[in-house]
Amino acid sequence: MAFYAENPDFVGPESRFNEVKSFVKGGLRDLSVSRASFKWGVPVPNDEDHVMYVWLDALTNYVTATGWPVDGANGDAEKHERLWPADLHMVGKDILRFHAVYWPAFLMAAGLPLPKRVFAHGWWTNEGQKISKSLGNAIDPNQLAETYGLDQTRYFLMREVPFGNDGIFSVPALTQRINGDLANDLGNLSQRVLSMIFKNCDGVMPAQPEKLAPEDQALLASADALLGMVRQHIDKQAFHEALRVIWQVISNANRYVDTVAPWALKKTDPARMAEVLAVLAETIRQVAILVQPVMPDAAAKILDQLGVDPAARDFTYLGGQARLVNGQVIAKPEPVFPRFVDEADVNAG
């Protein structure tokens, strides 16, 4: 309990940590580390009637895989020093007790450092019904990827439900994310900005404004602030929140387009139109870099269309440390996120 108090982020989400602390407060009894009721398992030294308790045997793999004990036959001091203690154990909520109570107790008894954090994720249900073999309602991820797209499916799974909670999978919810968040919001933003650059700027990426207008400054500031915000959420395994703040900037960019109206500036102030498109392209660049862990293929297509060097796509190029290079010729853009239309609905109509 003292360790829990000194490490308030040891278990996530917080609701699961409360369950763990409640269990420990209820009183801990001695735990037998062997079993005699079956024969499969690792034999207990000097007692052939017993095998090691599987949760002692299995959990120790975390440290033995890092080269511990360092003076053993498979010891590796450098590897163990580099890899242990683990930054994060990601486990299902049904085995949290083993990782947040038993495992710390084993490590404390052995005088070994504890992992820094244990996070218990929830379960997906099929439209509210538990997924099971007996019910025959399993969801084939390969089929989802084939039907809706791999990146689109991955985005839905990371965005739809607060990570750590149980989630309800449904095709209408997936379709809404694809058509709303991806096709309408990010996809349409990227397509119309790049199309205007291709058509109105002779396919040459315009330069950033030498002097930012207030609306330019506001949009770029929101994009530059993303890296720090996203990192905070990722560090807490709040993947849905990381994506939410990215999509706030996408919304900001879409409002900026509607407010500044670069298509109208083409006739009245083409130089300003080019500046506006440059600000938008820079915003899209930062968004595309940040969504790479969730949608690597789609992000790569957007960055390719922007003309971003593959060597300039990591996080060191974010937060105002770099800007989109101007002057490069871009090809005619192609949509990255097509809308999903159910053929059955079309045929029925």
Q: Write out pLDDT tens, residues 66-100.
A: 999 999 999 999 999 999 999 999 999 999 999 99
Domain check: are 110 and 173 in the same one?
no
User: Which helix (H) or strand (E) element contains residue 92?
Assistant: strand 89-92
Are 298 and 150 part of one and the same domain?
yes
What is the tally of structural domains in the chain?
A: 2
Residue 96: CATH number of its domain: 2.170.220.10
89 and 196 share a domain?
A: no
Same domain? For 179 and 274 the reply is: yes
**Mean pLDDT, rounded, for 119-124:** 94
pLDDT of residue 131: 86
178 pLDDT band, cuts 50/70/90, is very high
Is residue 345, in this structure, part of any structural domain at all? no
pLDDT of residue 267: 93
- CA separation for the pair 120, 82 (Å, rounded): 24
Please state, in angstroms and as integers, the Cα–Cα distance from residue 278 to each residue in 133, 212, 283, 306, 323, following that order: 52, 11, 9, 11, 10
The answer on 160 and 279 residing in a single domain is: yes
pLDDT reported for residue 193? 98
Residue 326 domain-assigned? no
Residues 164, 292 share a domain: yes
- 90 and 170, same domain (yes or no): no
> Are residues 36 and 101 both part of a single domain?
yes
Phi, psi of 11, deg, nearest 5:
-120, 135
Q: Is 108 helix (H, G, I), strand (E, B) or coil?
A: helix
Residues 291 and 150 in one domain: yes
C-alpha to C-alpha distance for 265 and 1, rounded to whole angstroms: 64
Do 278 and 152 have their domain in common? Answer: yes
| Greater pLDDT, 347 or 220 | 220
In 3-state terms, what secondary structure has residue 57? helix
The residue type of 195 is: S
Position 223 in a domain: yes
Q: Is residue 74 domain-resident?
A: yes
Q: How confident is the model at residue 130 (pLDDT cuts 50, 70, 90)?
A: confident
- pLDDT above 80 for 349: no
pLDDT value of position 135: 86
What is the pLDDT at residue 347? 43
Question: Residue 344 domain-assigned?
Answer: no
User: Integer distance in angstroms from the first to the last C-alpha of the chain?
Assistant: 62
Q: Which domain holds residue 12?
A: 2-124
Q: Is residue 255 part of a domain?
A: yes
Q: Burial code of 190-217, b = ≥16 C-beta within 10 A, e = fewer? A: bbbbbebbbebbeeebbebbeeeeeebe
Residue reference for tokens 């996070």? 119
pLDDT at res. 133: 82
Q: Share the mean pLDDT of the chain.
A: 94
CATH code of the domain covering residue 244:
1.10.730.10
Q: What is the pLDDT of residue 348?
A: 46
Is the residue at 102 inside a domain?
yes
Structural domain includes residue 343: no
CB burial string 273-293: b at 16+ within 10 A, e below = bbbbbbbbbbbbbbbbbbbbe
Which pLDDT does position 234 carry in this prediction? 96
What share of the chain has pLDDT > 70, as a percent?
98
Q: Please state the rounded mean pLDDT for residues 12-24.
A: 96
pLDDT beyond 90 at 136: no
Q: How confident is the model at residue 346 (pLDDT cuts 50, 70, 90)?
A: very low
Shared-domain flag, residues 198 and 53: no
Last residue of a domain, one of 63, 94, 124: 124
Q: Are residues 167 and 309 in the same domain?
A: yes
